[in-house]
Amino acid sequence: MGSKNKRLLGLITSLMFHNNRNIFEDKELYITKRKLELVQLKHPQESKYINNNEFQIILDNTIANCGYSKDNDILNFISYFDNKYILYGISNNSYYIYLTTIFYPSKKQLNNCKNTINFFNLNAKEIFEDYLK
């Protein structure tokens, strides 16, 4: 869905809204045509969630936000399901909210943002810390 240059991925969850107050003005998350091409090229396994219209699963299983990117306009989130972590970025500096990146991070990449993670619940924090050991 969406226009020819953007595609609707899903709706931002209330948990994400609650933990990032006054940041999101809209609930709809999109991906631009160009960004979709880049994700399919660089991260073909992760792009299956977009291609199969299953990105809402990632949004629903978001456990934390983190400071992975140095860009202040991008919010990075960590999702956990199927015993895997997925890191994705959302930009909110446009007329709409759009996906900037999505990938399966390594333990080293997760360790790099460990100091800036804000977990949405304590259970997710414990699972994450056990995973990094």
Please give the structure tokens belonging to residue 60.
């629903």
Does any domain span residue 108? yes
The whole domain housing 25 covers: 6-132
Does any domain span residue 19? yes
- pLDDT for res 124: 92
Does any domain span residue 73? yes
Contact 131, 84 (CB under 8 A): no
Does any domain span residue 46? yes
Q: How does pLDDT run across 70-98, given as a tens digit for each residue?
A: 777 788 999 998 889 999 999 877 678 89
Provide the domain count of the chain.
1
Does any domain span residue 1? no
Q: How does pLDDT run across 13-72, given as a tens digit for each residue?
A: 888 877 776 677 778 999 999 999 999 999 999 999 999 999 999 999 999 998 876 777
Does any domain span residue 74? yes
Kindly report the pTM of this predicted structure. 0.88
Which residue carries 């999101």 as its tokens? 24
Comparing C-alpha atoms, which of 23, 33, 43 is closest to residue 88?
43
